Chains A and B, each alone.
Chain A
Amino acid sequence: MNRIDKKFRELKTWRRKAFIAFLTAGYPSLPLTEKLVLELERSGADIIELGVPFSDPVADGPVIQKSSFEALKKGVTLKKILRLVKKLRKKTEIPLAAMSYFNPILRYGTSLFIEEAVAAGLDGVIIPDLPPDEEKVFLSEANKNGLATIQFIAPTTSRLRASFIAGRARGFIYFVSLTGVTGVRRDLPIALKSQVIAVRKVCGRLPVCAGFGVSTRRHVRFVSSFSDGVIVGSAIVKKISEHLKKKDLVSRVGRFVRDLKGSL
């Protein structure tokens, strides 16, 4: 069984919600990303998303854009990130999903990517510019080989389309909590609750987690009250960027995540 599915089953037994943490892989460096993953696991993260840096991240706001450019400057590639996953697999069984724009995967070779990602121990992929309407061969081949293709549903997605997407998604549904790009926000839309509840109805047993803009402990508590989990990205990456030079960067980020997660 895929580690993501296993994790959600486990969480369900304990009636808990998933805390999913995003890190830009290679920011500030690949060795530090490795340490951060392990630290976030200790701090209570249930699933880790590893952001694959891309030159033109259209779905991302300034925080993740900047971290991606920094990582690219250091020569981080998809290949190196898969190597990091392999290394991490010797130390942890935490579910790992890669969040990548499609072009780096296409360039890698879609079949080769699936093969090497699965061999390395990656559990899922999240591709913000690849809706389930495109690249059906790649998506079904990934799923067949145990690489879960996590799909997005947005506040603008119709009910009909939501059930189409749910039928093609694996792992969980990434509900986009606001119309916009990733980033730290003060407030989340009030309509989020009713939107997620409606989406959960069409998703059956597939868990629905919400992300984009989730930035504070209050947000985490609010979102988890009606979803199967929360995804926090920019807030964590921002924390990293604020403490780049500090020796105790890793433990500071760990504390931040522990605090965000609270009693989740």
Chain B
Amino acid sequence: MIPDKHGHFGIYGGKYIPETLMAALEELEKTYLKASKDKAYLTELSIYLKEYAGRPTPLYFAKNLSRLIGQGRIYLKREDLLHTGAHKINNTLGQALLAVRMKKKRIVAETGAGQHGVATATVCALLGFDCHVYMGAIDMQRQALNVYRMKLLGAEVVPVTSGSQTLKDAMSEALRDWVTNVRTTNYILGSVAGPHPYPMMVRNFQLVIGKEAKRQILKAERRLPDYLVACVGGGSNAMGLFYPFFADKKVKFIGVEAAGHGLNTAEHSATLVRGDTGVLHGSKSKVLQDKDGQIKIAHSIAAGLDYPGVGPEHAYYQDIGRASYVAVTDQEAIDGFKMLSLAEGIIPAMESSHAIAYLKKMTGILKKNSVVIVCLSGRGDKDASAIKDLESR
């Protein structure tokens, strides 16, 4: 069983967290385990996923993109079509319904690109929670639209000005809030990261992506895919897609990290490709760090990938060779962003554009009949103005 009952994925995972939070994590885990066997909870969640969020999402055969790449049959799992524009809502709905059961009235969350923040603010508006989203001051600038959306939804967006002023520091600040208000507050964490039970729980809320994709591809192709490709920041959309295929050994998993300005520079977020084992924000995993164990500041054009850590289950998959992890640069991601927009009339999120961009590097390994599923984790409206500014500079 992965993880074990202490939340370990091999040597990774666990609960590396101040003692004050241990009771809250235990309560959350207990509530989650109970709910995951409770018919009333599961029914409620599946109704919201279907009628509110818009599941199932289509698996779209991208004919033009496939022709452009030249080899293989490429399918897009359209998480970008979900309510709020990204896969994040699969998880926030699940966690918010747990908060209802724990009778917590106040919610905190961290956000990078703002997608998780918006998805959290959305479910808080829906279910009547007091919502506080921590966001790096730099991210607030590059994702101004999402900041406004969160405010419209009634959330308080708290700017974080410490450290790198991005996702890493937003997460630290959200944890500090939770330590302080732990009795009244639930922390809705946005990725398969953090202390146990989050990596397991968030994975389980996201694996609906892979389950649907599996059913859909079997219907469309009458066989399993050869490759699954997804971007990895913390890694929740990738884990959601990969996990249901874990036992299908012939299906290869490719996680695409952000190489930022290049893997040979100091400015990237390729935690699995370039990082080392470390402990950050509650779990042991791969981390970008210096020789003294100080966490490095990550960089990516995609705010949602701009994080020096990664979910522990990905580090485990890498160790056991179940998945391979690669990285593409900011520029390659921008090219991917434009390529998909032009070829298919679908504007992808900058995060998802990393997965799209990697397809160009797969031409050597793809065969004519290869079947590839790419997780299109989010839509790119939020990025359009930033890319436009970049172009006009």
List the one stretch of A16-24, A50-58, A83-91 in contact with chain B: A50-58
Q: Which residue of B lies closest to A130 (CB)?
A: B16
Q: Which of A57, A106, A130 interacts with B293 by CB under 8 Å?
A: A106
Compute how far the CA of A181 lies from the CA of B21 in the bound complex, rounded to whole angstroms: 11
Answer whether residue A263 sits at the interface, using C-beta atoms and an 8 A cutoff: no
Find chain A residues with CB under 8 A from B168 CB: 56
Q: Is A152 part of the contact surface with B, judged by Cβ < 8 Å?
A: yes
- A104 in contact with B294 (CB, 8 Å): yes
Contact B282 A129 (CB under 8 A): yes
Q: Which residues of B contact A161 (CB under 8 A)?
A: 22-23
Are A133 and B292 neighbours in the complex by a CB distance under 8 Å? no
Q: Does B371 contact A (CB under 8 A)?
A: no
**Interface residues on chain B, size class:** 35 or more
Chain A residues whose C-beta falls within 8 Å of the C-beta of B19 in the assembled complex: 131, 151-154, 156-157, 165, 176
Segment 298-356 of B: residues with Cβ below 8 Å from A: none
Contact of B289 among A103, A130, A165, A181 (CB under 8 A): A103
Q: Cβ of B15 < 8 Å from any Cβ of A?
A: yes
Q: What total of A-B pairs shows CB separation below 8 Å? A: 116
Task: Given A104-B294, A105-B293, A179-B183, answer yes or no on A158-B16 (Cβ-Cβ < 8 Å).
Answer: no
A129-B16, A130-B16, A134-B16 known; A72-B279 Cβ under 8 A = no
The segment from B84-92, B148-156, B173-181 that touches chain A is B173-181
Provide the bound-state CA to CA distance between A154 and B21, in Å.
9
User: What residues on B are CB-neighbors of A54 within 8 Å?
Assistant: 293-294
Provide the A173-201 mask, 1 if CB < 8 A to any CB of B, else 0.
00010011100000000000000000000
CA A8 to CA B16, docked complex, whole Å: 29
Is B138 an interface residue, CB under 8 A from the partner? no
Instruction: Write out the residue numbers on chain A whose beta carbons fall within 8 Å of the beta carbon of B24.
Output: 156
Q: Are A179 and B22 in contact (CB under 8 A)?
A: no
Give B residues with C-beta under 8 Å from A.
Answer: 6, 14-24, 162-163, 168-169, 172, 175-176, 179-183, 276-282, 284, 287, 289, 291-295
Additional A-B contact list (19), CB under 8 Å, known A156-B19, A179-B182: A56-B163, A58-B18, A58-B179, A102-B279, A103-B295, A107-B291, A107-B292, A128-B18, A129-B282, A130-B16, A131-B19, A133-B14, A154-B19, A156-B22, A156-B24, A158-B23, A165-B19, A176-B19, A181-B176
